[in-house]
Structure 1
Amino acid sequence: MNATSGAPVNAPAELHDRPIGDLIRDARNLSAAEVEKVLSYQREHGVRFGEAAITLGLASPDDVLNALAQQFHYPLANAERRLASPELVTLLQPFSVQAEAIRAVRSQVTMRLGQGEAARQALAVISPASGDGKTYFAANLAVSLAQLGGRTLIIDADLRGPRQHEVFKVSNSAGLSTLLSGRAENQLIQTVEGVSGLFVLPCGPIPPNPLELIERPAFALLIRELSTKFDHVVIDTAAASLGADACVVAARCGAALVLTRKNENKISALQDLVASLAGSSAQLLGAVVNEF
């Protein structure tokens, strides 16, 4: 499950060590004369290279944002990813209200999980009903955790209606269900293109016995093992209205975050979901209201 790559002996300088002007120049294939024009405007008006290049029409705001992302080692979506994965707002719209809200939740999650071994607990995202936004939220939370650095894994444990493979555009021919049924032969954890340190374990084929697979000791052992190999593990789950899967997953993870949708979920359904966690080993970190 490790994903490592070797670097050549004479490797070029890291992208985040290069000046932003060099990054924009290479991205836009600017000539020496165009670079000098930008530098002259920069000196004359006392602005940054990127701002000068935009004003002169030699770069776009996206070019500057991408260069900054490389400098600060902060993954952002490229044009192809924007078309393929519109739900990943933390990559597509990093300064949007939605992305800021997800980062705020990320901060709360990391603080409440604490430090050391406690922080290595997997986190189950659960909600009362289908359509609450669990897949959207879990995917973006995983991206935001990966943007902190380290290794983050998102697992699609919704064995009834999986969608993480659609969001991240990875193969779903094999995955968690294959692993739990003892039919796994190849590497099942897949990397996410364009997001360093982010990995996906998709659901795989939808099984006829989802709850039974989740309740097997193999699932708890798998979560325990993966939690030692990754800095963060986020798990998407089936809606509580469809069965007990979510509560079982939460108990195996050790931590859970409840998601509810504004003007959609009934208070009684939310109360029943929270009550179902009572007595289990799951630590309820809090609740998130999805307003979108």
Structure 2
Amino acid sequence: MARFKDSGVSEVVPSAAGPAEGREGTVVDRSIGSIIAETRHLSADQVERILAHQRDKGLRFGEAAIALGFASTDDVLFALAQQFHYPYAPQVGSKLGAELVALSQPFSEQAEVFRGIRSQLTMRLDGESERNRRALAVVSPDSGDGKTFFSANLAVTLAQLGGRTLLIDADLRGPRLHELFNVPNAAGLSSVLSGRSEAQVIQPVAGVSSLFVLPAGPTPPNPLELVERPAFALLVREVLMKFDHVVVDTPAGVYGADCTVIAARCGAALLLARKDQSQLDALQGLAALVKASAAQIAGVIVNEH
């Protein structure tokens, strides 16, 4: 779980007729109950039994269906997601890894925290002119602070708003995003920055149609030199024209100047600290370096995960 520091849905009884039609003949969103009934191929008799249990116990349709064994919790969450047009992929999320809570558990407390952080960040960074738009680098003093966990879930929540979101793995020293999202890593950022022409280095993420990942690619012997090259600044400028949101994972500050160079190229940085682990002087030192790079500090996150 993360905290941002500055510096139940009601259900409708299903209709046997399926999707309802409005007065003008337009199709209205189906109830959660009708979605569950269709997903689980429930018979009319089973639906009636659920409705009777719902009335007798004062439950919601989904709760009654679970109680009678006609549906699972995942079925109800899927129905909620369908009704509110919200990306939900429990089966995909389980394959990608437990860390992607915003994808596999979008209605959990942790996911809600990420949505709150997303809201504050978009208020701070959105509304800029196209010319002044910035990518967001996630930086922290030490390894194990949770940058990759945070970057990945923030990107998922941004994509769940519907805007095209790109997550870049610029941690060329110890990349992990390709593992979390199960995308190929034979080519990636290091390939682009070293001048090797590669096709389809930006990979779509299954389960979230508007989320894309640019993996780190092969680990280079000169990561700092690669991100210092003009090619990286040009790449950031190019992807900002093609994506609504760009989030960049970085190496820990303890490994050198990579993260501050990346933050300068991105234009904005979010500082991450680990609760009961990060040293205040290390965090303050990193903040000073980022500020000196002319990158805007969008906020400070205390990671409790």
Structure 2 length-normalised TM: 0.85
Q: Which residue of 2 is the match for residue 6 of structure 1?
A: none
d(CA) in 2 for partners of 1:201, 1:127: 20
Q: Which residue of 1 is the match for residue 94 of structure 2?
A: 82
Distance 1:16 1:143, change over 3 A: farther
Q: Is the 8 A contact 1:174 1:184 kept in 2?
A: no
Can you list the C-alpha shifts for 1:16-64, whole angstroms capped at 9, x where unaligned? 9333233212221212322233344456666543233223221122211
**Which residues of 2 match residues 46-195 of structure 1 at below 5 A?**
47-117=59-129, 120-195=133-208
Equivalent residue for 1:280, pick from 293, 299, 303: 293
Distance 1:191 1:242, change over 3 A: same
Q: Is the 8 A contact 1:160 1:206 kept in 2?
A: yes
Unpaired stretches in structure 2, ≥5 consecutive residues: 1-18, 21-26
Distance 1:120 1:25, change over 3 A: farther
Distance 1:235 1:59, change over 3 A: same
d(CA) in 1 for partners of 2:207, 2:92: 10
d(CA) in 2 for partners of 1:264, 1:43: 51
Amino acid at match of 1:52: A
Structure 1 length-normalised TM: 0.89
Amino acid at match of 2:210: G
**Which deviates further from its counterpart, 182-191 or 76-85?**
76-85
d(CA) in 2 for partners of 1:70, 1:48: 17
Q: Is the 8 A contact 1:260 1:287 kept in 2?
A: yes
For the pair 1:18 / 2:30, whether they are aligned, the reply is yes
Q: What number of residue pairs does the alignment pair up? A: 280
Can you list the C-alpha shifts for 1:158-181, whole angstroms capped at 9, x where unaligned? 000000011111111111111111
Can you list the C-alpha shifts for 1:42-101, whole angstroms capped at 9, x where unaligned? 566665432332232211222111111111111223235224311011123334332222
- Helix, strand or coil: the match of 1:281? coil
- Helix, strand or coil: the match of 2:277? coil
- Helix, strand or coil: the match of 1:203? coil
d(CA) in 1 for partners of 2:60, 2:113: 29
d(CA) in 1 for partners of 2:60, 2:31: 11
Amino acid at match of 1:132: D
Q: Is the 8 A contact 2:91 2:104 kept in 1?
A: no
Identical counterparts, % of pairs: 64
d(CA) in 1 for partners of 2:278, 2:49: 58
d(CA) in 2 for partners of 1:206, 1:267: 31
Amino acid at match of 1:288: I
d(CA) in 2 for partners of 1:261, 1:219: 28
Q: Which residue of 2 is the match for residue 199 of structure 1?
A: 212
Q: Which residue of 1 is the match for residue 257 of structure 2?
A: 244
Q: Is the 8 A contact 2:291 2:297 kept in 1?
A: no
Q: Which residue of 2 is the match for residue 257 of structure 1?
A: 270
Unpaired stretches in structure 1, ≥5 consecutive residues: 1-11
Distance 1:270 1:192, change over 3 A: same
**1:114 CA displacement:** 3.4
Can you list the C-alpha shifts for 1:105-128, whole angstroms capped at 9, x where unaligned? 111111111314268421000001
Q: Which residue of 2 is the match for residue 5 of structure 1?
A: none
